[in-house]
Amino acid sequence: MKKATRKEIESIKSALLERYSDAVTELDYTNAFELVIAVALSAQCTDKRVNLITPALFEAYPTPADLARADIENIKRLIQSCSFFNNKAINLIAMAKRIVEVYGGEVPLDEKELVTLAGVGQKTAHVVLIEYTGANLMAVDTHVFRVSHRLGLSDDFSAIETEATLVKKFKTNLHQLHQGLVLFGRYICTAKNPKCDTECFLREFCKSTDGFKPR
C-alpha cells in the first residue's frame, strides 16, 4: 500500500485540525473517576452503549470508596449489556480499591500510575489523559487504526505500533488529532460503506477503502 508523503501528512493534519479542533469524547462523565470507568467499559463496546449503562452505575457508586465496597453481582447486573461484563465488573471493583488504598480516593492523572489500575492499559490511560488533561498523546482504537491505514499514515500490524508511528509523524496537537481521527472513522470513514463520495474531506489522500483491523 502506498504511504502518505510528508506533504500529504501535513495536509491531512491541517484538515483534521480545522474540522475537529474542538472535538471531545462522546462518552458522558462529570469527573476523572467517571471518565476512567467509561473508557474502561468502552473497550469492545460502543460509546452509545456505555452512555446507556453509566448513569445508573454512577448513581449507585458515585465515589471510588462506594465502588470498592460494591457487590460484584450488582455491578454485573448494571453493566450486563456491555461486552465482557464479567471481567469488567471484577476490574471496576479492583480499580476502585486501588484508587482508595493507594491514591487516597483520587484518580492519578499520570500514565505510569493509571496503568497500575485494573482494566487500564496504555490505550485507556492515554484516552483519559487526552480527554481530561489535553495531553499531547495518541491512542489507537479500531477507528484510528483503520483510518491511519486507509490514508497511508501507517502500515503497522498492531495498535501500539500504529500509535508510535502517528506520534512520530504528527508530533504536535496529538490530543485533537486523536479525537478527530476517532470521529472521522466513526461517522465518515466507516468500516463498511465509507462515505467516500458524499462526506469525505480527505478523499484525495485515500490509499485504500479496505477494512483494516489491528492484530
Domain 6-23+137-205 in CATH 1.10.3720.10? The answer is no
CA angle 72, 28, 111 (to 5 degrees): 75
Instruction: Look at residue 208 in the predicted model and tell me its pLDDT.
Output: 85
pLDDT at 27: 96
Q: List every span in the chain annotated with CATH 1.10.1670.10.
A: 6-23+137-205
Please say if the pLDDT value at position 9 is more than 90: yes
Fold of the domain spanning 32-133: Endonuclease III; domain 1 (1.10.340)
Residues of the chain with CATH 1.10.340.30: 32-133
Q: Specify the pLDDT at position 210.
A: 75
116: which residues sit within 8 A by CB, 6+ positions away? 98, 102
Active site residues: 123, 141
Q: Give the model confidence (pLDDT) of 150-183 as tens digits.
A: 999 999 999 999 999 999 999 999 999 999 999 9
Give one DSSP letter per residue of 150-192, joined into a string: HTTS---SSHHHHHHHHHHHH-S-HHHHHHHHHHHHHHTS-SS
Q: Is the pLDDT of residue 2 over 80?
A: yes
Return d(Cα 96, Cα 69) in angstroms, integer: 9
Percent of the chain with pLDDT over 90: 93
Cell of 17: 485540525
* pLDDT band (50, 70, 90) for residue 212: confident
Mean pLDDT over each residue of the chain, to the nearest integer: 95
Q: Which pTM value belongs to this model?
A: 0.91
3-state secondary structure of 197: coil
Closest CA to 137 of 149, 121, 152, 125: 125
Q: What is the pLDDT of residues 110-155, one digit of tens each?
A: 999 999 999 999 999 999 999 999 999 999 999 999 999 999 999 9
